[in-house]
Amino acid sequence: MIAHEVVPLPDYVAEVVHGLSSRPKTLPCKLFYDARGSALFEEITRLPEYYPTRVELEILQDNSREIARAMGSPVSIIELGAGTATKTGTLLRAFARRQMRVKYFPVDISPAALAEAKKKIREACPGALVRPVVADFSNGFHFLKSIPGRKLVLYLGSSIGNFDWNDATGMLRKVHEQLSPGDALLLGTDMVKSSEILVPAYDDAQGVTSEFDKNILVRLNRELDGDFHLPSFRHIAEWNPMRSRMEIYLESLLAQVVTLRMAGMEVKFDAGERIHTENSYKYTLQMVESMLCVSGFKLERSWFDRREWFGLHLARV
């Protein structure tokens, strides 16, 4: 690197410094999703052990006509964290049968993902009008106000499960604030189930989830000039029944010191010490109902798969 070249510090540096100085150590799970991490997550969704994506798609395929009927039309459909919109085509087709022109607004932080989403929806539902919105949720949901007419907001994949209770209800309340009476939210939630199903979903035999978890360290090595030695850490996935969540960690296999040069930081690890990288909350219907209720929504109807592993919930403003 040329000495006088100015390398901007990533905007997450303060969070990383704070997280790695805390006890227990933590890192924000949003750091998973650089280009490599996003590709690894797509790979996770195709793993035999990772059931949520498949099961949610199955619920959508089996019930999209009924979901469209329950919603009433016409509506504009806004998908938060749309990614590449792999699951949305079937739902848009159901709405297309009931209304003149379906307007679909996929919202994501990744322009690349949105370009892919647009392509996929063009094929799956050629009649739909697709208007991608590049937005970061930390800036609020003001873009919702500028979309005219009745709205259905999709928040699928149990992405809500990454948030603690207060952050989840805070986020849903902010969405609620931008909506009008009659508008609705379709929320996907992973349900509480046996740890024999849950743990392998977050610790697969092929080690893809382990690679996804460690990708945070790869990213910090690259973007903060760090020297994390990957083989000195292992991926851990644990079910915490008290808090109703899967907990993901990286555990240091030995006592070591890691340097993050651009953060001006040395991080000391004991043998067996962990970095908490992610939570993934699992819900009961009662939890979903109260989460929606305290956020201002009224749960109107839920759809499940046969084993009730995953739920889709229609909540009205």
By rule CB under 6 A, what string of x and - marks binding of each residue 275-304 to ligand AVJ? ---x-x------------------------
Q: How long, in residues, is the chain?
A: 317
- For ligand AVJ, the closer CB: 19 or 157: 157
Task: Pick from 157, 192, 267, 275 the residue near ligand AVJ by CB under 6 A.
Answer: 157
User: Applying CB under 6 A, does 159 fall inside the site for ligand AVJ?
Assistant: yes
Beta bridge partners of 184: 152, 316
Task: Pick from 86, 162, 195, 232 the residue near ligand AVJ by CB under 6 A.
Answer: 162
Structure tokens, 200: 């392998």
**Residues 167-184 as b or e (16 or more Cβ within 10 Å = b):** ebbebbeebbebbeeebb
User: Applying CB under 6 A, does 83 fall inside the site for ligand AVJ?
Assistant: no
**Interacting stretch for ligand AVJ, rule CB under 6 A, among 6-14, 151-159, 219-227, 287-295?**
151-159
Dist. CA 261–CA 283, nearest whole Å: 40
Residues 6-45 that bind ligand AVJ (CB under 6 A): 44
Q: State the nearest-atom distance from the C-beta of 44 to ligand AVJ, in Å.
A: 5
User: Applying CB under 6 A, does 195 fall inside the site for ligand AVJ?
Assistant: no
Q: State the nearest-atom distance from the C-beta of 146 to ligand AVJ, in Å.
A: 27
Residues sharing a CB contact under 8 Å with residue 273, sequence separation 6 or more, in sequence order: 24, 25, 251, 252
Dist. CA 281–CA 157, nearest whole Å: 12
**At which residue do the structure tokens 């329950």 appear?**
70
- For ligand AVJ, the closer CB: 40 or 224: 40
Its sign, for the CA torsion 281, 284, 289, 294, is negative
**At which residue do the structure tokens 């080690």 appear?**
207
Q: State the nearest-atom distance from the C-beta of 278 to ligand AVJ, in Å.
A: 6
Contact by Cβ (8 Å): 314, 184: yes
User: Which residues of the chain form contacts with ligand AVJ (CB under 6 A)?
Assistant: 44, 52, 157-159, 161-162, 202, 209, 278, 280
